[in-house]
A = this chain, B = another copy of it.
Amino acid sequence: MDAIAVRQGKTRPELIDIERPEPDDGEVLVKTLRVGIDGTDFEVLSGSHGEFPEGSEYQILGHEAVGVVEAANGTALSEGEIVVPTVRRPKNTSSRFFENDEPDMAPPGEYVERGIAGAHGYMAEYFTTPASFLVSIPESLADVGFLVEPISNAEKALELAQRSRSTFEWQDSAGLVLGNGPLGLLTLAMLTDRCERTYCLGRRERPDPTIDIVDELGATYINSQQTAVDEIPAAHEPMDLVFEATGHAKHAFSTIEALDSNGVGVLLGIPEDWEFTVNGGALHRQLVLQNKALLGSVNSNVRHYNRARNTLAEYPDWFVSSIMTTRCSVSEFADAFEQSPESIKSYIEFSA
């Protein structure tokens, strides 16, 4: 069958021919429909993030997938069900986090990540996985279901943020998303239902399709080349919730200054090492005197996938279709990895 993979020592994806996998006991055979591409895929290609599966000279790419059950193999699923796979799998070790259905909280060393680190991804005509790592979605979401994975990461981050503010009557009136990539826009659309006023920071100038989406969502676009994150309270207003989806390390610190009293910043980006100067005294003091919080969040679990499915179903159609800009067939796979200002979310269609 066709699969899209990166070989050891290479940084470009290739179309390879491999054997169709056979499901083990408890595993389901899934026929892949669509697989999305995000920033992590480019980090895997460049080698800056992730690792090859043990003993394999290639890694199948892709962690944002939707498929249809081809062989339920005695599990509770049924043939023809539309499913989305989660990303983390246990790594040769017992893990209380997997036993508790909280693989997203497992520490490094206890998991592999399909398509990212130590396990093959979903960019293949078929994949197998234990049924417990599949989330069913309605057939009406089959075309867009690969967005459940990125949305689930935002759901988890939002859950952490909300729970951290649950000791008092928190008002998240003003919400800011740092980053206007697909994850930033998917999160912004989620926040417009929660926050009275939403903002989205990006580096681009108008005209730009992502800024058009920010406008249409009723949010305020902030150009980071004109307004730095720590200038946002003066230029706009202090924020109750800041959602960082850029991986720009300085944003972790300027987020503290962008927050209103009792605000929470949740970080999702994964930066490289970078040394710089901060006014650590002022940041520490602001955190304390204004009860601010800064949380990191990675990955997501089935609970978040289920929420993400509901969130996805509630997004307006215009929004989802304006995000899904670039559909490529398997033979056009190389185009899906081309980045252009016009392209927001690229995805590869394995089966319609």
Cβ–Cβ < 8 Å partners of A10 in chain B: none
A36 to chain B, nearest CB (A): 20
Interface residues as binary, A150-170 with B (CB distance below 8 Å gives 1, 0 otherwise): 000000000110011011110
Cβ–Cβ < 8 Å partners of A272 in chain B: 281, 285
Does A78 have its Cβ within 8 Å of any Cβ on chain B?
Answer: no
Does A306 have its Cβ within 8 Å of any Cβ on chain B?
Answer: no
CA distance A159 to B268 in the complex (A): 24
- Contact call B294/A298, Cβ cutoff below 8 A: no
Does A339 have its Cβ within 8 Å of any Cβ on chain B?
Answer: no
Does A94 have its Cβ within 8 Å of any Cβ on chain B?
Answer: no
Looking at the complex, which of A15-23, A248-256, A344-352 is the stretch in contact with chain B? A248-256
CA distance A283 to B249 in the complex (A): 8
Among candidates B106, B163, B268, B280, residue contacting A278 with C-beta atoms closer than 8 Å:
B280
Interface residues as binary, A69-111 with B (CB distance below 8 Å gives 1, 0 otherwise): 0000000000000000000000000001100101011111000
A27 to chain B, nearest CB (A): 26
Count copies of this chain in the complex: 2
Interface residues as binary, A308-321 with B (CB distance below 8 Å gives 1, 0 otherwise): 00000000000000
Looking at the complex, which of A56-64, A133-141, A187-195, A259-267 is the stretch in contact with chain B? A259-267
Dominant SS at the A interface? mixed
Q: What residue of chain B has the Cβ atom nearest to residue A286's Cβ?
A: B296
Among candidates B104, B270, B291, residue contacting A296 with C-beta atoms closer than 8 Å:
B291
Cβ–Cβ < 8 Å partners of A283 in chain B: 249, 252
Interface residue tally on A, bucketed by range = 35 or more
CA distance A285 to B96 in the complex (A): 24
- Contact call A107/B290, Cβ cutoff below 8 A: yes
Cβ–Cβ < 8 Å partners of A200 in chain B: none
Does A284 have its Cβ within 8 Å of any Cβ on chain B?
Answer: yes
Does A282 have its Cβ within 8 Å of any Cβ on chain B?
Answer: yes
A212-234 interface (Cβ within 8 A of B): none
Select the residue from A164, A167, A260, A278 with max chain B CB neighbours within 10 A.
A167
Does A343 have its Cβ within 8 Å of any Cβ on chain B?
Answer: no
Cβ–Cβ < 8 Å partners of A260 in chain B: 107
- Contact call A287/B280, Cβ cutoff below 8 A: no
- Contact call A293/B291, Cβ cutoff below 8 A: no
Does A129 have its Cβ within 8 Å of any Cβ on chain B?
Answer: no
A291 to chain B, nearest CB (A): 6
A245 to chain B, nearest CB (A): 11
Does A114 have its Cβ within 8 Å of any Cβ on chain B?
Answer: no
CA distance A274 to B272 in the complex (A): 25
Among candidates B107, B108, B163, residue contacting A166 with C-beta atoms closer than 8 Å:
B163
Instruction: List 16 interface pairs A-B (beta carbons < 8 Å), by A numbering.
Output: A106-B261, A107-B261, A107-B262, A107-B290, A163-B163, A163-B166, A164-B164, A249-B280, A250-B280, A267-B287, A267-B288, A271-B285, A274-B281, A275-B277, A275-B280, A291-B296
**12 further A-B pairs in the complex, CB-CB below 8 A; given A163-B166, A289-B296:** A105-B262, A249-B281, A249-B284, A272-B281, A275-B277, A277-B277, A277-B278, A278-B280, A287-B294, A291-B295, A293-B295, A294-B295
